[in-house]
Amino acid sequence: MAKVYTRQEVKRRRMGFQIFAGIYDFLAIIAGVVVIVGCILLLTALVNWVVRDGSQSFSSLWNIFMNAIIIPE
């Protein structure tokens, strides 16, 4: 036989579930912010690495190009 709940018990249980749902929503928002900040840091590091590596690679290619065009004496 199913248990019969009074309105007070139903309200108390509903309030408990709403509190837990709110806590989990808050924790999910905090976790999402942490993930977004981590992704931004990783993208910043990637862009900085590409800029540094690109300048080194192009300077090396530029030296090869200039040595090929200018005939040393």
What are the sequence ranges of the domains in the chain? 35-68
Query: Greater confidence, 5 or 50?
Result: 50
pLDDT digits (tens, 9 = 90+) for 16-66: 999 999 999 999 999 999 999 999 999 999 999 998 888 888 888 888 888
Measure the CA–CA gap between 68 and 63, rounded to whole angstroms: 9
The tokens for 59 are: 């300077």
3-state secondary structure of 4: coil
The tokens for 51 are: 């800029």
Give the distance from CA 66 to its chain's centroid.
Answer: 42
Residue 65's pLDDT is 81
Examine the pLDDT at 69 and tell me if it is beyond 90: no
Measure the CA–CA gap between 41 and 7, rounded to whole angstroms: 51
Examine the pLDDT at 73 and tell me if it is beyond 80: no
